[in-house]
Structure 1
Amino acid sequence: MPIEVDDVMKLLCSISQERKMKAAFKHSVRGALVTGTVALLGGLVGGPPGIALGGTVGGLLGAWMTSGQFKPVPQILMELPPVEQQKLVNEAKAIIGNLDWTDAIELIALVMSNQAMQQNLLDMLTTYMTKKLGAEICYGD
Protein backbone atom coordinates (compact mmCIF):
# COMPACT_ATOMS: atom_id res chain seq x y z
CA MET A 1 0.00 0.00 0.00
CA PRO A 2 1.39 3.42 -0.88
CA ILE A 3 1.82 5.69 2.09
CA GLU A 4 -0.66 8.55 1.95
CA VAL A 5 0.85 11.94 2.82
CA ASP A 6 -2.33 13.16 4.53
CA ASP A 7 -2.57 10.06 6.73
CA VAL A 8 1.04 10.34 7.88
CA MET A 9 0.76 14.08 8.47
CA LYS A 10 -2.36 13.50 10.60
CA LEU A 11 -0.44 10.84 12.51
CA LEU A 12 2.49 13.19 13.17
CA CYS A 13 0.09 15.94 14.23
CA SER A 14 -1.66 13.52 16.57
CA ILE A 15 1.59 12.39 18.20
CA SER A 16 2.89 15.93 18.60
CA GLN A 17 -0.46 17.11 19.94
CA GLU A 18 -0.56 14.31 22.52
CA ARG A 19 2.93 15.29 23.72
CA LYS A 20 1.94 18.99 23.62
CA MET A 21 4.96 19.82 21.46
CA LYS A 22 5.62 23.46 20.70
CA ALA A 23 8.39 24.99 18.63
CA ALA A 24 9.99 28.41 18.58
CA PHE A 25 12.03 29.76 15.75
CA LYS A 26 14.90 31.99 16.63
CA HIS A 27 14.60 35.42 15.09
CA SER A 28 18.19 36.45 15.57
CA VAL A 29 18.16 39.01 12.75
CA ARG A 30 15.33 40.95 14.39
CA GLY A 31 17.12 40.84 17.75
CA ALA A 32 20.36 42.01 16.16
CA LEU A 33 18.60 44.90 14.44
CA VAL A 34 17.04 46.04 17.71
CA THR A 35 20.39 45.77 19.50
CA GLY A 36 22.22 47.72 16.80
CA THR A 37 19.55 50.41 16.57
CA VAL A 38 19.44 51.04 20.31
CA ALA A 39 23.27 51.04 20.49
CA LEU A 40 23.40 53.59 17.66
CA LEU A 41 20.84 55.81 19.36
CA GLY A 42 22.73 55.49 22.63
CA GLY A 43 25.93 56.51 20.85
CA LEU A 44 24.29 59.54 19.28
CA VAL A 45 22.90 60.69 22.61
CA GLY A 46 25.65 59.72 25.02
CA GLY A 47 28.84 59.11 23.04
CA PRO A 48 30.97 56.03 23.86
CA PRO A 49 29.25 55.35 27.21
CA GLY A 50 25.91 55.64 25.40
CA ILE A 51 26.98 52.97 22.90
CA ALA A 52 27.80 50.60 25.76
CA LEU A 53 24.56 51.32 27.58
CA GLY A 54 22.53 51.24 24.35
CA GLY A 55 24.11 47.93 23.33
CA THR A 56 23.28 46.42 26.71
CA VAL A 57 19.70 47.69 26.75
CA GLY A 58 19.21 46.83 23.07
CA GLY A 59 20.57 43.32 23.61
CA LEU A 60 18.20 42.70 26.48
CA LEU A 61 15.28 44.16 24.53
CA GLY A 62 16.15 42.10 21.43
CA ALA A 63 16.40 38.92 23.50
CA TRP A 64 13.08 39.62 25.19
CA MET A 65 11.34 40.32 21.86
CA THR A 66 12.47 37.09 20.26
CA SER A 67 11.98 34.71 23.17
CA GLY A 68 8.90 32.66 23.98
CA GLN A 69 7.33 32.70 20.52
CA PHE A 70 6.22 29.08 20.61
CA LYS A 71 3.68 27.66 18.19
CA PRO A 72 2.05 24.23 18.44
CA VAL A 73 3.93 21.71 16.29
CA PRO A 74 0.73 20.39 14.63
CA GLN A 75 0.08 23.91 13.33
CA ILE A 76 3.64 24.15 12.01
CA LEU A 77 3.37 20.75 10.32
CA MET A 78 0.17 21.65 8.51
CA GLU A 79 1.72 24.95 7.33
CA LEU A 80 4.74 23.22 5.80
CA PRO A 81 4.95 23.34 2.01
CA PRO A 82 4.07 20.06 0.26
CA VAL A 83 7.74 19.39 -0.54
CA GLU A 84 8.66 19.53 3.17
CA GLN A 85 5.65 17.40 4.11
CA GLN A 86 6.81 14.80 1.59
CA LYS A 87 10.29 14.82 3.17
CA LEU A 88 8.72 14.11 6.56
CA VAL A 89 6.60 11.32 5.11
CA ASN A 90 9.69 9.78 3.53
CA GLU A 91 11.45 9.79 6.91
CA ALA A 92 8.39 8.27 8.58
CA LYS A 93 8.30 5.46 5.98
CA ALA A 94 11.29 3.80 7.60
CA ILE A 95 9.39 3.64 10.89
CA ILE A 96 5.84 2.79 9.82
CA GLY A 97 6.55 1.11 6.50
CA ASN A 98 5.51 -2.35 7.68
CA LEU A 99 2.06 -1.27 8.89
CA ASP A 100 -1.09 -1.91 6.86
CA TRP A 101 -3.92 0.59 7.27
CA THR A 102 -6.91 1.89 5.34
CA ASP A 103 -7.22 5.45 6.69
CA ALA A 104 -5.63 7.95 9.07
CA ILE A 105 -7.79 6.85 12.01
CA GLU A 106 -6.60 3.25 11.71
CA LEU A 107 -2.97 4.36 11.25
CA ILE A 108 -3.15 6.55 14.35
CA ALA A 109 -4.68 3.72 16.38
CA LEU A 110 -1.98 1.28 15.25
CA VAL A 111 0.85 3.65 16.16
CA MET A 112 -0.67 4.81 19.44
CA SER A 113 -0.83 1.20 20.59
CA ASN A 114 2.91 0.76 19.96
CA GLN A 115 4.99 2.84 22.39
CA ALA A 116 8.32 2.11 20.67
CA MET A 117 7.01 3.19 17.27
CA GLN A 118 5.49 6.31 18.82
CA GLN A 119 8.84 7.21 20.39
CA ASN A 120 10.70 6.59 17.12
CA LEU A 121 8.33 8.91 15.25
CA LEU A 122 8.61 11.50 18.00
CA ASP A 123 12.41 11.35 17.85
CA MET A 124 12.33 11.67 14.05
CA LEU A 125 9.97 14.64 14.27
CA THR A 126 12.07 16.36 16.95
CA THR A 127 15.24 15.89 14.90
CA TYR A 128 13.52 17.24 11.79
CA MET A 129 12.21 20.31 13.63
CA THR A 130 15.53 21.14 15.30
CA LYS A 131 18.02 20.27 12.56
CA LYS A 132 16.16 21.13 9.35
CA LEU A 133 13.87 23.91 10.53
CA GLY A 134 16.12 25.35 13.25
CA ALA A 135 13.38 25.28 15.87
CA GLU A 136 13.63 24.96 19.62
CA ILE A 137 11.20 22.33 20.97
CA CYS A 138 9.40 22.29 24.31
CA TYR A 139 6.90 19.77 25.67
CA GLY A 140 3.85 20.31 27.85
CA ASP A 141 1.90 23.46 28.55
Structure 2
Amino acid sequence: MPINTRELMDAVGMLTDQRNVRVTVKSSAKGAVICGTTCFVGGLLAGPIGLAVGGTIGAVGAGMMSKGKFRSVSEIIMNEMSEREREQLKGRILNALSEFHPTDMAVLLPLIMGNAQAQQAILSTVISFVSNEMRMQIVD
Protein backbone atom coordinates (compact mmCIF):
# COMPACT_ATOMS: atom_id res chain seq x y z
CA MET A 1 0.00 0.00 0.00
CA PRO A 2 1.50 3.38 -0.98
CA ILE A 3 2.10 5.98 1.68
CA ASN A 4 -0.65 8.61 1.84
CA THR A 5 0.86 12.10 1.63
CA ARG A 6 -1.77 13.68 3.88
CA GLU A 7 -1.23 11.11 6.64
CA LEU A 8 2.54 11.53 6.40
CA MET A 9 2.24 15.32 6.59
CA ASP A 10 -0.04 14.96 9.65
CA ALA A 11 2.60 12.79 11.35
CA VAL A 12 5.37 15.23 10.41
CA GLY A 13 3.21 18.08 11.73
CA MET A 14 2.81 16.30 15.06
CA LEU A 15 6.57 15.77 15.26
CA THR A 16 7.40 19.39 14.45
CA ASP A 17 4.82 20.57 17.00
CA GLN A 18 6.40 18.34 19.66
CA ARG A 19 9.77 19.90 18.93
CA ASN A 20 8.24 23.40 18.65
CA VAL A 21 9.80 24.08 15.23
CA ARG A 22 8.65 27.48 14.00
CA VAL A 23 9.43 29.80 11.12
CA THR A 24 9.46 33.56 10.86
CA VAL A 25 8.00 35.46 7.99
CA LYS A 26 10.78 37.96 7.31
CA SER A 27 10.18 40.07 10.38
CA SER A 28 13.26 39.26 12.45
CA ALA A 29 15.43 41.61 10.40
CA LYS A 30 12.88 44.42 10.69
CA GLY A 31 12.70 43.89 14.45
CA ALA A 32 16.48 44.04 14.75
CA VAL A 33 16.58 47.29 12.76
CA ILE A 34 13.88 48.85 14.95
CA CYS A 35 15.65 47.75 18.13
CA GLY A 36 19.04 48.93 16.97
CA THR A 37 17.74 52.26 15.69
CA THR A 38 15.86 53.16 18.87
CA CYS A 39 18.82 52.11 20.99
CA PHE A 40 21.17 54.26 18.88
CA VAL A 41 18.87 57.30 18.99
CA GLY A 42 18.35 56.88 22.72
CA GLY A 43 22.11 56.71 23.23
CA LEU A 44 22.64 59.88 21.20
CA LEU A 45 19.98 61.77 23.09
CA ALA A 46 20.54 60.60 26.66
CA GLY A 47 23.79 58.68 26.85
CA PRO A 48 23.93 55.35 28.72
CA ILE A 49 20.42 55.73 30.18
CA GLY A 50 19.13 56.52 26.68
CA LEU A 51 20.70 53.30 25.39
CA ALA A 52 18.76 51.30 27.94
CA VAL A 53 15.50 53.17 27.41
CA GLY A 54 15.85 53.18 23.62
CA GLY A 55 16.66 49.47 23.56
CA THR A 56 13.67 48.69 25.76
CA ILE A 57 11.29 50.77 23.67
CA GLY A 58 12.68 49.25 20.49
CA ALA A 59 12.33 45.71 21.83
CA VAL A 60 8.72 46.30 22.88
CA GLY A 61 7.92 47.91 19.53
CA ALA A 62 9.57 45.11 17.56
CA GLY A 63 7.75 42.52 19.63
CA MET A 64 4.40 44.16 18.98
CA MET A 65 5.19 44.49 15.28
CA SER A 66 6.09 40.82 14.93
CA LYS A 67 3.06 39.52 16.82
CA GLY A 68 1.53 36.71 14.77
CA LYS A 69 4.46 36.59 12.34
CA PHE A 70 5.94 33.39 13.78
CA ARG A 71 4.13 30.22 12.74
CA SER A 72 4.64 26.56 13.40
CA VAL A 73 6.07 24.42 10.64
CA SER A 74 3.03 22.15 10.89
CA GLU A 75 0.82 25.14 10.04
CA ILE A 76 3.01 25.91 7.03
CA ILE A 77 2.89 22.28 5.86
CA MET A 78 -0.87 21.92 6.23
CA ASN A 79 -2.05 25.35 5.07
CA GLU A 80 0.55 27.03 2.88
CA MET A 81 2.33 24.31 0.93
CA SER A 82 0.99 23.39 -2.47
CA GLU A 83 0.29 19.75 -3.25
CA ARG A 84 3.43 19.69 -5.41
CA GLU A 85 5.53 20.94 -2.49
CA ARG A 86 3.97 18.35 -0.16
CA GLU A 87 4.79 15.61 -2.68
CA GLN A 88 8.38 16.89 -2.92
CA LEU A 89 8.68 16.92 0.86
CA LYS A 90 7.19 13.42 1.06
CA GLY A 91 9.78 12.17 -1.44
CA ARG A 92 12.62 13.73 0.52
CA ILE A 93 11.35 12.31 3.81
CA LEU A 94 10.99 8.82 2.35
CA ASN A 95 14.47 9.13 0.87
CA ALA A 96 15.83 10.18 4.29
CA LEU A 97 14.11 7.16 5.85
CA SER A 98 15.17 4.71 3.14
CA GLU A 99 17.44 2.81 5.55
CA PHE A 100 14.36 2.04 7.67
CA HIS A 101 12.41 0.59 4.69
CA PRO A 102 8.97 2.09 5.39
CA THR A 103 6.40 0.51 3.11
CA ASP A 104 3.13 1.97 4.41
CA MET A 105 1.76 4.19 7.14
CA ALA A 106 1.23 1.23 9.46
CA VAL A 107 5.02 0.80 9.51
CA LEU A 108 5.96 4.46 9.12
CA LEU A 109 3.86 6.04 11.90
CA PRO A 110 5.32 3.96 14.78
CA LEU A 111 8.77 4.49 13.26
CA ILE A 112 8.30 8.28 13.28
CA MET A 113 6.97 8.39 16.83
CA GLY A 114 9.27 5.83 18.42
CA ASN A 115 12.67 6.08 16.76
CA ALA A 116 14.93 9.04 17.64
CA GLN A 117 17.10 8.52 14.53
CA ALA A 118 14.05 8.55 12.27
CA GLN A 119 12.73 11.67 14.02
CA GLN A 120 16.04 13.45 13.54
CA ALA A 121 16.18 12.44 9.87
CA ILE A 122 12.66 13.78 9.32
CA LEU A 123 13.28 17.02 11.22
CA SER A 124 16.51 17.66 9.31
CA THR A 125 14.74 17.02 6.02
CA VAL A 126 11.78 19.25 6.87
CA ILE A 127 14.01 22.08 8.13
CA SER A 128 16.18 21.86 5.02
CA PHE A 129 13.13 21.85 2.74
CA VAL A 130 11.44 24.79 4.46
CA SER A 131 14.69 26.79 4.56
CA ASN A 132 15.99 26.06 1.08
CA GLU A 133 12.89 25.47 -1.05
CA MET A 134 10.40 27.78 0.63
CA ARG A 135 12.97 30.43 1.69
CA MET A 136 11.69 30.67 5.27
CA GLN A 137 13.82 31.14 8.35
CA ILE A 138 13.63 28.56 11.13
CA VAL A 139 13.36 29.95 14.67
CA ASP A 140 14.94 27.94 17.49
TM band (smaller chain): 0.5 to 0.7
Higher Cα Rg, which structure: 1
Could you list the runs of 4 or more consecutive aligned residues of structure 1 that deviate by over 3 angstroms after TM superposition? 63-68, 100-103
Alignment correspondent of 2:33:
none
1:99 aligns with 2:102: yes
Unaligned runs of 5+ in 2: 31-57
Alignment correspondent of 2:117:
116
Given that residues 22 and 73 in structure 2 are in contact (C-alpha distance below 8 angstroms), is that contact kept between their aligned partners in structure 1? yes
**What is the 5 A alignment of 1:121-140?**
121-139=122-140
Deviation at 1:68, TM superposition (A): 7.3
Which amino acid letter does the alignment assign opposite residue 2 of structure 2? Answer: P
Alignment correspondent of 2:76:
76
Deviation at 1:27, TM superposition (A): 5.9
Bigger drift between 87-96 and 119-128 goes to 87-96
Deviation at 1:15, TM superposition (A): 1.2
Given that residues 27 and 69 in structure 2 are in contact (C-alpha distance below 8 angstroms), is that contact kept between their aligned partners in structure 1? no
TM superposition score normalised by structure 1: 0.63
1:3 aligns with 2:6: no
Which amino acid letter does the alignment assign opposite residue 95 of structure 2? Answer: A
Deviation at 1:102, TM superposition (A): 4.4
1:26 aligns with 2:26: yes
Measure the CA separation in 2 of the matches of 1:117 and 1:110: 7
Measure the CA separation in 2 of the matches of 1:12 and 1:101: 15
Question: Counterpart of 1:20 in 2: which secondary structure?
Answer: coil
Unaligned runs of 5+ in 1: 32-59
Percent identity between the aligned chains?
22
Given that residues 22 and 138 in structure 1 are in contact (C-alpha distance below 8 angstroms), is that contact kept between their aligned partners in structure 2? yes
Which amino acid letter does the alignment assign opposite residue 7 of structure 1? Answer: E
TM superposition score normalised by structure 2: 0.64
Q: How many residue pairs were aligned?
A: 107
Calculate the aligned-residue CA RMSD, in Å.
2.7
Deviation at 1:23, TM superposition (A): 0.5
